[in-house]
Structure 1
Amino acid sequence: MDGYSNILLLIIALLCFRSTLGQTDPKDVTTLRLLQRQWKGVTWTGVDPCASNWVGVTCSGSRVANLLLSTMGLQGGLPPEMGYLTGLQRLDLSYNKGLNGPIPFNLGKLKSLRELVLIGCSFSGSIPAELGSLQQLSILDLNSNKLGGEIPPELGNLSKLYWFDVANNQLTGTLPAQLGKLVRAGHFHFNKNQMSGSIPPEIFHESMALQHVLLDHNRLTGEIPSTVSLLKDLTVLRLDGNGLEGSLPSNISNLKKLGEMHVSNNKLTGSIPDLSGLTNLQYLDLSNNSFDVSNFPDWFSSLQLVTTIVMEGVNLNGQFPSESLSLPQLEAMKLARNSINGTLSIDSQVNQTPQLIDLEDNKIIGVIEPLPKTVTIKLMGNPACAEGSSLLNEVPSPCNPAQNITPYVTPMNDCGKDIKCGKQMQVDPRICKCAMPFEGMFVFRAPSFNNLDNASRFQSLEKSLLQNLTLTEGSIYILCCMSFDSDNYLNVRVWIFPPPGTKYFQRPDIAKLGNILSSQTYKPPKELGFGPYYFSPSWDHDFFEVSEGSKGLSTRAVIGIAAAGAAMGLLILALGFYAFKQKKKLAKSRKTSRPFGASWGFASGEYSGDVPKLKGARYFSFEELKQATNNFSSANEIGCGGYGRVN
């Protein structure tokens, strides 16, 4: 038995050695190999996903736990076999514009999934109802795809969901009332779709933890439900760009934490309610509704934190109240297209922090000078700027205002004009050498400010990015084109350069950056007022060296695979030789244990029922037999036959 035991031990050792070469569950390996064949842009090398440190793949035990491949330039579709990765906890394929086709319903089998982030791809079709069975899911981000159909009511079963973003798609239908079951949700980002119908009152109640409700730029109708006032943690409310009717709920003033409220471009009627209870309000936009004719609200003086008031086309009349400019944080008042009249007079003693007072297309007949020089005042379209007005001869003046203030741009070293860089590369101003930056656009969907030249605010944003993205000092550059778009979103273009001395980011670095920005791991400091955002990388080129993917296996990988193969071969050879030697010993042992060499034919299946043939029978002398049987003692008798006793 010692020979068998040794062989068994060697087999166990061989299996243990084999397991070091293949740590990943076979089903996971098969699925990832399938993805590697189907996706263009995958550069995985090595024998085993978990043991070979595949880019974007991390494991827990033998199972693939995270698949984080943001911004890798992937192309292809999501195969239904993704459902076999049942140990998956985080799936981030964001910013891969070449990923398209439907989202497979088999993703509903990933019962351990906590994060599903597919932002900025090209997926189409409907959102699978099967995703509603992912009871561990806390982040569902499908922003900026081509998804259609309705939001499945089954998603109301996601009891742990915190971040729910399906913005910038082509979703239709009504909002399901089952969304009210998502009591842990902090973010409803459903903006920029084609959803219609009324807002179900059931989706808002006092047990909910909603902080951001973004329903802007849809086709919603009906009244704003008064239940919105029950959202005690709400800080951002965007309902603008719909067809909402009726009056603005008076109890909306109960939202003590509300910082930004946008209800512009609807069909709201009735009187503007008293909003003095919104003591944390910083940005208010009521524009382009059909409110009752009224004077400028006197409760504005209680909004001590407000930076921006936008009330264009809301039937305001009477004189402009210059005392409203005493609000300590005020940056801009936009009151165009109303019926504000009389003579504009601004007390030189009031706070002059506002940069902009826009009173275009009103009925102001004149101004009492001097007006503050630090404030841009716009009176075009008023009688005060009619032909013959003395204000037309002054530059700048309310009738000929100065150009808009130049937005903030990060100060950079002057590297001169002699450095010529190749395609898609830029001069890294830290070292005045060419490099390929990670470039994209931050889209802030509800900023609480209007001033874009506030250097302190944007420098704090740069510092925050450097610290949270763990980048080299000076890597962040907020460049040109910082502006508000037509939807009142703030666009901030950013360049992030690779470490000094290198021209390109490595793929793992890009995947890490993309995941931090897509999964909302990075959040700007609340006090800066940038609000919710999404990031949109540039799509015209990869951010890593294009030739990386064509290099095949690295030298280190080839050496590792060769060494492992050689070791495996030697071990198998040694095992075979040892097994051969043990077999010979075993055969010899069996031969000596059968002195008559009888062969019954059982092993070969040739037994015919005849007596066995004796091979090489041994001759025993009488004296040997006498000695072996103790002189043929009856005590050694074992039987009796036709020829006598048998000892």
Structure 2
Amino acid sequence: MHKEKVSIFQFFTSDPETRIGKGTNSTIQILFFPSCLMPPFTDILGFLSKFHVYKERKLFLLILLFQVLFVAARTSSDDFKGLAGLIENWNQKPPSWVDSDPCGSNWEGIGCKDSRVVSIKLSGMKISGRLSPEIESISELEILDLSFNRGLTGTIPDEIGNLKNLDTLILAGCSLFGPIPASIGSLQNLTFLALNWNQFSGGIPRTLGNLSKIEWLDLSDNQLEGAIPVSNDQGLLGLDLLHTARHFHFGNNRLSGRIPAKLFNANMKLLHVLLDNNRLTDSIPASLGLVNTLEAVRFDRNQLFGPVPPSITNLRNLTELYLSDNNLNGFLPDLSGLRLTYLDVSTNNFTSSGIPPWASTLQFITTLNLGNITLKDEIPVSLFSLPNLETVSLRDNKLTGDLDIGNSFSNRLQSIDVENNGIDGFNQGNSQIRAAVLLRGNPICIQKEDREKIYCQERQSNISYSTPPNNCSPLLCISNQLSSPNCKCAYPYTGTLNSRVLSFSNFGNTSYYVAIEQSLIIFVRSQNLPVDSVSVSNPVKNSSTEYFYVTISFFPSQQDRFNRTGVSSIAFALANQIYKAPAFFSPYFFIGDDYQYNAGEPSKKTSHAGVIAGAGVGVFVFLVIAVLAGIYAYRQKKQAQTAMDMNPFINWELNKNVGAAPQLKGARWFSLEELKKYTNNFSDANAVGSGGYGKVYQGVLTTGELVAIKRAGQGSMQGALEFKTEIELLSRVHHKNLVNLVGFCFEKGEQMLVYEYIANGTLMDSLSGKSGIKLNCMKRIKVALGAAQGLAYLHELADPPIIHRDIKSSNILLDDHLNPKVSDFGLSKLLVDSERGHVTTQVKGTMGYLDPEYYMTQQLTEKSDVYSFGVLLLELITGRKPIEQGKYIVREVVREMDKSKDLYNLQEILDPCITEVTNPKGLEKFVDLALSCVKEYAAERPSMAEIVKEIENIMELAGLNPTSESATTTETFEDASLRHPYGNEDFKYSGVFPSAKVEPQ
């Protein structure tokens, strides 16, 4: 114990030999001779001055330091230094972190062994702030899990590479950004690395090839770009050296270039290779067939071309294969020797032929998607008798003859999609078939006697499930409590369980959800987690990623809420893949929600043997502390006031018109001084735009990141509610087609929003010619697709759904690749009551884009955004503002339109960029889509997900791959200069509901 005490003092002294002295052989001697033991007061103040923290935390640190000086502790001083560094950089710490002995007093989330901290498990703890470089001091750390803390932002410090004993590193579901540090490659004991669902950028570090023990490598759902690194003869490292890895999860990034042939070799033990939703090009390497352990491969939604290599037939364990939405060609190899359950090769350019004979021999197949691959000839009846088949899609091909499903079809068959082919007849076979047959767009549905049949009608796929009560009657609960499956009112811990690779597609089959429930119940009991019951609900299929997820609710045992340790233990078990999901749902990842109802917070009072030992000198210690604290408080008076001001919302509620302080999930807070530094004191040279809100300045952060800083008028609180709304919403949503909020400033009467810098201005500026960018026909369609995907994310994947309420061309920004990003969430609303399907609210928005039904009823729905988006589509093809010279674009298009004529007789009002192309393919469908969006009644309008699909179909009709970044080009006016996106804001309607009906002009 004495040895540890000396090391603690060394932590506070620059010259331990002189200050500690010699002959300090007992605790009593140390306490009675502080002049020999304590560092000079100036050293203590110098140490404290480095902690730029809130006033209450400075007091905590002051007391903490003196506790360390006078109380024997069980924790290594180096480890305490590392934890103190975390506290310095966190705006919110666990409430049990209140004294100087993390190991001795059981600090929440801290695991110790022989006085050394070996694990930090703080998953889902609502921690906010940054990861301190001083974490390197915790040198014996083996597990670091800070997942699902959306307030954790900033970059990963390079010093993390000094944690040589680290085995598990989980930072999933946070708000971290910047490059992944190359120093992680120094962690040669690492077996589990999960950095998914953040905002990391830059390339995959080559040094990860040094992780010789890694088994789980998940970098998906970030903004990583560049090539996949492999080793070479010059000694450079690469991922091909990871022979112990079982999982390569790199989907939903911006990786480009080819899939290197060297990436795969026979020494690897990979189970899953997930490279979906990237920008990869060239062909699939034949070396893939060398990894005979593979079970799931996802190369879909890239820009791959060439044939599928025959070597893929060597993958005898392969069960899921996704190759859709590429430019693959040639003939498909015979896959009958594989144990496939899910095969999707749709939307490619394979050589025209009939349905491959081997398709009818896939005995394990549940999902077969051969849509849009130029298939022709008749459909073999044997295809529908596969014993496990649930879904077969043959849509958008050139199939002919009659559709005959026979009498021996699988009783598991749920959907037969043969839309948009050349089918002339339909032999229904056994009338007891339960499968949905879709034949729209075939000759059979043109015939009078068939076109009213159900198989010729559009069908909506509604997925609905919620765990039923367990032989009891649900209770009517108070507040935000829910009735559990065991009919107990409680506050559950919730999150989404997401499957990256599915082996089923019958989402209406409740047995799948029951299996998930049962496996979770067995798991929580085997792990002795404080869970009474588990509920599965709200199954959702994401059409843009092919991910499938369900909401999981864990209900507490013993009491009506979890304590913080209970939440963290559940989150850690799921983040660390300790829970093994059923095979049909694996691999999965979990994203936990913030938990607001913690019970039984640990007491801040602890007892120590050291306190008892020093009781005899308590009075002396008290006097020393009192004197030093008084001097310190005097010296820090001005800094303490500044520290209080650092709370960005300390005075928020003094403005009675803006509601409670914002609830943030990761946006970084900037001080006014920081933003002055980044903008050269808001100099005119840095000003890049202006509008009714104020000015916009370009700034450069210390990381080199370029940002746009939107500054409200000096001293003005106008728009405070919009300010609050925007930072709340943008801090919790992340999508490639939504503008990224870097942070905000709310200090000394200033309101500023800090966004990523978008280089190419607004869509409105490009359409009007102000930006100097000329958008051709195809690029406009791609802009429409990206904006639609961003809105579909808000409507379907945000929880609760978000209604933007101000969709218009000036709120669509174009990045340096002319990819669209939806911006300005100041008027947005949460659809918190999904049962009602609307929010009753004061009418706000921009005239010309406003939904008439919302305008008249004050009932805001997701279809209100759809209406505005429809106006935007018309703006894209006409190049005209919604209201121009008293003419309303919707009325003008409807008035001029004649479907019996070429281009619907709209040549006079189409933008010249559109008519430059002779008979542009898909234009009529684009007009039809736009007009369906601006239907008078919301119920008649499509959803944003349906709009996304239709735009993708239009692009394919025009010969353009929806995932391609290079399919179209842009032209720039020679003498035009680019302008910034944040200026020239147009008028927003923000009045109360009018007493009389007002039609758009």
TM interval, shorter chain, is 0.7 to 0.9
Q: What is the identity percentage for the equivalent residue pairs of Structure 1 and Structure 2?
A: 37
Q: Confirm or deny that 1:114 pairs with 2:167.
A: yes
SS across alignment from 1:449: coil
For 2:359 and 2:260, the matched residues in 1 are separated by 31
Matched, 1:102 2:155: yes
CA shift, 1:401, in A, is: 6.9
In structure 1, distance between residues paired with 2:532 and 2:128: 33
Q: Which of residues 316, 327, 334 in structure 2 aligns to 1:274? A: 334
Q: Post-superposition shift, 1:271?
A: 1.2
Partners of 2:327 and 2:499 in 1: how far apart? 26
- Relative distance call for 1:291 and 1:148 in structure 2 (3 A) is same
Tell me the SS of whatever aligns to 1:560.
Answer: coil
> What is aligned with 1:188?
248
**Matching of residue 427 in structure 1 with residue 483 in structure 2:** yes
Task: Kindly state the Cα deviation for residue 481 of structure 1 after the two structures are TM-superposed.
Answer: 3.9
Closer/same/farther in 2, CA of residues 212 and 242 from structure 1, 3 Å limit? same
Q: Cα offset for 1:81? A: 0.6
**CA apart distance, 1:416:** 7.9
Task: Tell me the equivalent position of 1:606.
Answer: none
Question: In structure 1, what residue type is equivalent to 2:86?
Answer: L
Q: Within the alignment, does 1:264 sit opposite 2:315 as a pair?
A: no
- Partners in 1 of 2:530 and 2:74 — Cα distance? 35
Partner of 1:287: 346
Structure 1 pair 318–383 and aligned structure 2 pair: CA distance change class (3 A): same
Please give the per-residue CA displacement for 1:416-466, whole angstroms capped at 9, x wherever unaligned: 8983532x4333352442x22111111100010001232333212111111
What residue is the counterpart of 1:522 in the other structure?
579
Other-structure match for 2:108: 55
Match of 2:507 among 434, 440, 452: 452
Larger Rg: 1
Q: Secondary structure at the match of 2:200?
A: strand
Native 8 Å contact 1:376 1:401 kept in 2: no
Provide the C-alpha distance between the structure 2 equivalents of 1:572 and 1:442, rounded to a whole number of angstroms: 54
Is 1:469 the equivalent of 2:524? Answer: yes
Alignment of 1:127-276 (within 5 A): 127-177=180-230, 178-276=238-336
Task: Decide whether the 8 Å contact of 1:469 with 1:516 is kept in 2.
Answer: no
Map of 1:634 onto structure 2: none
Which of these residues, 75, 89, 98, is aligned with residue 38 of structure 1?
89
Give the Cα separation in 2 of the matches to 1:530 and 1:476.
Answer: 17
Number of matched residues?
Answer: 549
- Could you tell me how far apart the structure 1 residues matched to 2:456 and 2:540 are? 26
Alpha-carbon displacement from aligned partner over 1:342-401 (angstroms, at most 9, x marks no partner): 01122113433311111011110111244543121110111111151x23344xx32237
Change over 3 Å in CA distance of 1:92–1:14 after alignment to 2? farther
Alignment of 1:406-421 (within 5 A): 406-412=463-469, 419=476, 421=478
Query: 1: CA distance between counterparts of 2:550 and 2:378?
Result: 37
Counterpart Cα distance in 1 of 2:575 and 2:597: 16
Report if aligned partners of 2:364, 2:388 keep a CA contact under 8 Å in 1: yes
Against the structure 1 CA distance between its residues 210 and 13, is the aligned structure 2 distance closer, same or farther, given a 3 Å change threshold?
Answer: farther
Look up the SS of the partner of 1:384 in the other structure.
helix
What residue is the counterpart of 1:23 in the other structure? Answer: 74
User: Structure 1: how far apart are the matches of 2:530 and 2:121?
Assistant: 23
Aligned mate of 1:348, from 375, 392, 407: 407
User: Which of 113, 134, 156 is residue 81 of structure 1 equivalent to?
Assistant: 134
Q: Distance in 2 between matches of 1:477 and 1:350?
A: 34
Instruction: State whether structure 2 residue 421 is matched by structure 1 residue 365.
Output: no
How far apart are residue 9 of structure 1 and its match?
Answer: 12
Give secondary structure in 2 for the equivalent of 1:167: coil
Query: Which string of whole-angstrom CA distances, capped at 9 and with x for unpartnered residues, describes residues 100-138 of structure 1?
Result: 111000001000000111001111110111111111011
1:19–1:86 distance in 2 versus 1, CA, 3 Å: farther
Counterpart secondary structure, 1:509: helix
Contact 1:69–1:94 (CA under 8 A) maintained in structure 2? yes
Tell me if structure 1 keeps the 8 A contact 2:386–2:409: no
CA shift digits 1:183-221 (9 cap, x unpaired): 000010010000100011111000001100000000000
SS of match in other structure, 1:40: strand
1:69-95 Cα distance to aligned partner (Å, 9 max, x none): 000000000111111111000000000
Pair 20,208 (structure 1): closer, same or farther in 2 beyond 3 Å: farther
Q: Give the match for residue 375 of structure 1.
A: 435
Pick from 546, 549, 558: which aligns with 2:605? 558
* 2:555 aligned residue (487, 493, 497): 497
Q: Counterpart of 1:534?
A: 589
Please give the secondary structure, in 2, of the residue aligned with 1:103: coil
- Distance in 1, matches of 2:24 and 2:155, equals 50
> Equivalent residue of 1:487, what SS?
coil
Looking at structure 1, the residues matched to 573 and 395 of structure 2 have their Cα atoms a distance apart, in angstroms, of 41
* Secondary structure, counterpart of 1:107 in structure 2: helix
Q: d(CA) in 2 for partners of 1:286 and 1:303?
A: 15
| Partners of 1:86 and 1:567 in 2: CA distance | 30
CA distance in 2, matches of 1:9, 1:102: 43
**Are 2:81 and 2:137, in contact at CA under 8 Å, matched by a contact in 1?**
no
Q: Is the 8 A contact 2:366 2:390 kept in 1?
A: yes
* Counterpart Cα distance in 1 of 2:507 and 2:614: 65
Residue in structure 1 matched with residue 830 of structure 2 by the alignment: none
Residue aligning to 1:642? none
2:538 matches 1:480: yes
After alignment, is 362-371 or 96-105 more displaced?
362-371
CA-based RMSD of the aligned residues comes to 2.7
Compared CA separation, residues 227 and 13, structure 1 to 2 (3 A): farther
Distance in 1 (CA, whole Å) between partners of 2:587 and 2:315 is: 18
- Residue identity matched to 1:477: S
Give the whole-Å Cα distance in 1 for the aligned partners of 2:272 and 2:70: 48
CA distance in 1, matches of 2:363, 2:610: 70
1:333 lines up with 2:392 in the alignment? yes
User: Is residue 75–residue 101 contact of structure 2 (8 Å, CA) maintained in 1?
Assistant: yes
Distance in 2 of aligned mates of 1:160 and 1:14: 49
Q: Is the 8 A contact 2:377 2:400 kept in 1?
A: yes
- Partner of 1:480: helix, strand, or coil? strand
**For 1:301, what is the secondary structure of its paired residue?**
helix
